[in-house]
Chains A and B, each alone.
Chain A
Amino acid sequence: MAHELTHILEHAERIQALDLEDIEPTSHALKLTNVLRPDEVRDSLDQDEALANAPEAADGRFKVPRIIEDA
């Protein structure tokens, strides 16, 4: 895997040879900024639907291994 990654990065390195000094970066093909919509209440998934795919759920929540140790 390390060898493959090196090989891929070597190819990507080719762009280092380009003069990009005054070029603006593009993060996105569309010239969109701040797409807004009215802040209206809409239907969404109910709790059962939202939890239906959870590997573990309890009491209406996603269940995960303990994160915070006992004091």
Chain B
Amino acid sequence: MPDLVWASATELAGELVAGNVTSVEVTQALIDRSRAVDDSIAAYLTPTFDRALVEAGAADERRARGDALSAFDGVPIAYKDVFVTRGVRSTSGSKILDNYLPPYDATVVARCSGAGMPMLGKLNMDEFAMGSSTENSGYGPSRNPWDLERVPGGSSGGSTALVAAGGAPWAWGTDTGGSVRQPASLCGLVGFKPTYGRTSRSGMIAFASSLDQAGPITRSVRDAAALFLVAAGGDPLDSTCLKEEVPNVLEGIDRGIEGMRIGVVREFREGSQPGVQTLFEESLTRLEKLGARIEEVSLPSFEHGISAYYLIAPAECSSNLARYDGVRYGARVDGDDIVQMTSRTRAQGFGPEVKRRVMLGTYALSAGYYDAYYGKAQKVRTLISRELEGVFGSVDLIVTPTSPSTAFKIGEKTQDPLEMYLNDIFTVPLNLSGTPAISIPCGLSADDGLPVGLQLAGPSLDEATVLRAAYAFEQDLGFSERAPL
């Protein structure tokens, strides 16, 4: 019997099927672990432990009757607080939604619940998913289980902190510019962003609608593939959710990468911390050893990804966040008239980073500046997609570090928003192109002993190849280090 706290979700599912353990036992073990670590890592915004135990009991009854809802019936899960959950407070990390009790479940949540997964709780994040460290949360930062003085990354940092600390086998995050991959990288985990449109955005509190995509945060590639399969597929509640059939990405995941062509992005080959750089080069050697052909490719417009992203994402957020007007839900601060009421509500309810992005976005969209900023950024987006499509004519995947640095100290980058944004330099272009990408651990940095992530990215809809390469790399590396918490 594996240690219930550190077993993968797939292993837990196997033990449940074999009758070696009950869902209540698994869930209680994860609750105990969550309680033991959360004072240190501050991952939870709203734990739902009592509910999880009730759901676990129901899962055990179903299994005893032979009515299991899925292979993962009874395997617990936790959610970034950006996913709305019926009757359970959902804040998106913002004080403006401090008292919000959604009347429905996000589709991702509904599908996981439909598969029988007990919900452990709702997890911390940068406010409205805007940030790379969770320091922009209205509820204070989460901490990295590898070093409590450091950030867990963001914006899905509560999710990565919890999974890396053994409080849950897996969790859902969302990735608008790297918010699943970068925190996974900083916490030594797997973070997978499917093709835009594979998983429904219904009930994901909107940040930048053309970029937002839900993604699994796990401790194994197999778990990431399995969780993707639970939630992916068309949804009438999201018109941008793809109706295309989702291929069984677990099938053939272990076929290896012999003969696979993998492109190293020339423009991103340097510029990372020395410890990250060393592990990246070692990873290329490992991929070659596994039979892949490493080639250098050029994507010159990728270096403009951050510039384009920080016009497009704020533009979309400035429009999306207009809904927080103190009328239908969320906080309200009274005023003499409706304009003053709305203004005071936002002034008090939004944190500084959200205000910064709303102002940037409205500026980029304003008459006289629209063409120069938003319009040009959209054209850069076209260039990035075009170049990437061209490169995928000659290679199957591209590879980069996930983040140029390991986890940084809490407070280290809060004074300079632009420096914080540059954490996303390798991840952002793949949100602009909407193509699938994964971050997997590739070792501990010689600089500071902290985890480093490797990013593998593939063509639109080709999650299977991305996962297959990630799996081959993971199996060969055998990264088994755990956060010392």
A-to-B contact residues, CB < 8 Å: 1, 4-5, 7-9, 11-16, 18, 20, 23-30, 32, 35, 37, 45, 49-50, 52-56, 62, 64-67
Contacts and interface: CB of A to CB of B under 8 A. Distances in A.
Interface stretch (B153-161, B282-290, B352-360, B403-411): B352-360
Contacts of A67: 337-338
Given A11-B307, A55-B331, A67-B338, A16 B376 contact: yes
Contact of A56 (B332, B336, B359, B383): B332
Given A8-B360, A8-B417, A29-B434, A18 B101 contact: no
Interface string B243-256: 00000000000000
Interface in B130-175: none
B83 to A, nearest CB: 16
B418 A1 contact: no
A66 to B, nearest CB: 7
A55 B242 CA distance: 36
B307 A20 contact: no
Given A25-B382, A26-B385, A30-B434, A12 B310 contact: yes
B382 A26 contact: yes
Interface string B64-101: 00000000000000000000000000000000000111
Contacts of B328: 53-54, 62
A16 B332 contact: no
Contacts of A15: 304, 307-308, 311, 376-377, 380
Nearest to A66: B337
The A interface is mostly helix, strand or loop, or mixed, namely loop
B382 A23 contact: yes
Contacts of A54: 327-329
Contact of A11 (B197, B306, B337): B306
7 contacts: A11-B306, A12-B373, A15-B380, A18-B304, A20-B380, A29-B460, A65-B341
A49 B101 CA distance: 10
A24 B196 contact: no
Contacts of B311: 12, 15
A45 B338 CA distance: 26
Nearest to A49: B103
Given A32-B197, A62-B327, 15 more contacts: A1-B356, A4-B416, A4-B418, A7-B416, A8-B417, A12-B377, A16-B372, A20-B380, A26-B379, A26-B385, A32-B240, A55-B326, A55-B329, A66-B337, A66-B338
B268 interface: no
A27 B432 CA distance: 9
A26 B301 CA distance: 14
Contact of B210 (A7, A16, A27): A27
Contacts of A35: 239-240
B433 interface: yes
Contacts of A11: 306-307, 310, 418, 421
A27 B102 CA distance: 29
B319 interface: no
Interface string B387-421: 00000000000000000000000000000111001
Q: Which 3 pairs of residues, A with B, have the shortest CB-CB distance?
A: A29-B434, A25-B378, A53-B329
B335 interface: yes
A66 B339 CA distance: 10
B203 to A, nearest CB: 13
Interface in B207-259: 210-211, 236, 239-240, 242
Contacts of A25: 375, 378-379, 381-382
Nearest to B87: A52
A31 B332 CA distance: 39
B330 interface: yes
A30 B331 CA distance: 35
B100 to A, nearest CB: 6
Given A53-B329, A64-B338, A30 B356 contact: no
Interface in B49-63: none
Contact of B196 (A30, A52, A53, A55): A30
Nearest to B353: A4
Contacts of A4: 356, 416-418
A20 B379 contact: yes
A35 to B, nearest CB: 4
Contacts of B460: 29
Contacts of B332: 55-56
Contacts of B421: 8, 11
